[in-house]
Amino acid sequence: MTQAQETAFDQSTVDRAQAIVARYPQARSALLPMLHLVQSVEGYVSQDGIRFCAGQLDLSEAEVSAVATFYTMYKRRPCGEHLVSVCTNTLCATLGGDAIYSTLKDHLGVGHEETAGEPGTPGSITLEHAECLAACDLGPVLQVNYEFYDNQTPDKALGLVKALQSGDKPAPTRGAPLTDFKQAELQLAGFFEGRDADLDGPSAAPETLAGAQIAQERGWDAPAMPANAEFPALPEKK
């Protein structure tokens, strides 16, 4: 183990890693949260982080790398204090997501998965395109460290990013109070460090609940599932 590894992954990180493993009947199932744990320490998944996960889970480095490079939530370059994800999928793009991304790109002087400022330092921002953020009823949307900022415009998004750069943490539209990228990653690994109240933040907006409210007001119900429903036979495999 190198000195860099000893510094990055200290005993408290090892203890957390083992606590993650203990949640699962098979150790390899702990890989996804453990990669988040690595990011909470380093701000990305380095090759040292790959080796750390492999050693903790008795996996090969190739097996860990295959997972870390498959999911876009695991970053292969150091992230800024804040990760700003702009939805540019079809609906958000049409409603203004492309314009928002272009405005932030010009302001920060960076492109996709690039960082303005020294990674990890106060006010540094990593910008990325995001595929669907599952908030089409509130588009265009963006996320900061995976917390939602709904109904955005280029001007609102620019003001948000400038506030982040100056050290402010504007409240998300819904969800937990804003923290930084590393703290968000620690929570994704399952450790809230005294921030358990973050789970109580509002998760649904009025727009999301409008259909259910109308159905309730009008007494609409989905048909009940028959007690003995017959399902068609599966086609024979050849």
Is 79 annotated for ligand binding? no
C-alpha pair distances (Å), 151 with each of 61, 94, 120:
42, 13, 28
What residues are designated binding site for [2Fe-2S] cluster? Answer: 87, 92, 132, 136
What residues are designated binding site? Answer: 87, 92, 132, 136
